[in-house]
Chain A
Amino acid sequence: MERVGKPACSLTLRGGNVKKNLTYQLFNLGRSELLGKMLTTGAVAVAIITTVTIVFFIAVKGISTFSSSGVSVFDFLFSTKWLPDRPLEEGGPQVGVLAFILGSVIVSMLAVLLSAPLSVACAVFIQEIAPYWGQRILQPAIEILAGIPSVVYGYIGLSLLVPFIRNYIGGLGFSVLAGILVLSVMILPTIVSISTDTLRALPREWKEAAYALGSTRWQAIRLVLIPAARSGLITGIVLGLARAFGEALAVQMVIGNTRKIPTSILDPVITLTSAITMDMGNTLSGSLWNNALWSMGLLLLLMSCFFILIVRLVVRKGGITP
Chain B
Amino acid sequence: MNKHKDVKIVVQGGGSGTGLTQVSQGAADIGNSDIFATEKSGIDASQLVDKQVCVVGMTAVVNPSINIENLTTQQLVDIFTGKTTNWKDAGGPDQKIVLVNRPKASGTRATFKKCALGGAEEAAGIEEDSSGTVRKIIKDTPGAIGYLALSYLDGSVKVVGIDGVEPTKENIVTGKYPVWAYMHSYTRGNPSGAVEAFLNYLMTDDVQKTIVPELGYIPETEMKITRDAGGNLKNK
Contact = CB atoms under 8 A, between A and B. Distances in A.
Interface stretch (B65-73, B103-111, B152-160, B224-232): B103-111
A85 B18 contact: no
Given A166-B141, A283-B17, A286-B42, A278 B124 contact: no
B127 A257 contact: yes
Nearest to B103: A278
Contact of B141 (A83, A84, A172, A283): A172
B19 to A, nearest CB: 10
Task: Classify the interface of chain B: helix, strand, loop or mixed.
Answer: loop
Contacts of B52: none
A287 interface: yes
Nearest to B25: A285
Interface string B183-195: 0000000000000
B124 A260 contact: yes
Contact of B124 (A163, A258, A283): A258
A284 B129 CA distance: 16
Nearest to B107: A282
Contacts of B105: 85, 278-279, 281-283, 289
B116 to A, nearest CB: 16
A284 B17 contact: yes
Contact of B127 (A86, A258, A287, A289): A258
Contacts of B54: none
A191 interface: no
B103 A287 contact: no
Interface string A103-134: 00000000000000000000000000000000
B218 interface: no
Given A163-B140, A173-B141, A284-B21, A278 B127 contact: yes
Nearest to A256: B126
Nearest to B141: A172
Contacts of B103: 278-279, 282
B21 A268 contact: no
Nearest to A80: B124
Nearest to B98: A172
Interface centre among A257, A268, A286 (most CB of B within 10 A): A257
B20 A284 contact: yes
B15 to A, nearest CB: 3
A207 interface: no
A102 B173 CA distance: 46
Given A166-B141, A282-B17, A287-B41, A85 B104 contact: yes
A74 to B, nearest CB: 22
A174 interface: yes
A270 B15 contact: no
A25 interface: no
Interface in B104-144: 104-107, 110, 121, 124-129, 133, 137, 140-141
B28 interface: no
Contacts of B121: 83, 86
Contacts of A256: 126-127
A82 B122 CA distance: 12
Interface of B: 14-18, 20-21, 40-43, 98, 103-107, 110, 121, 124-129, 133, 137, 140-141
Given A258-B124, A281-B17, A281-B105, 12 more contacts: A82-B104, A85-B105, A166-B141, A173-B141, A258-B125, A259-B127, A260-B124, A279-B103, A282-B15, A282-B17, A284-B40, A286-B42
Interface of A: 82-86, 162-163, 166, 172-174, 252-253, 256-260, 268, 270, 277-279, 281-287, 289
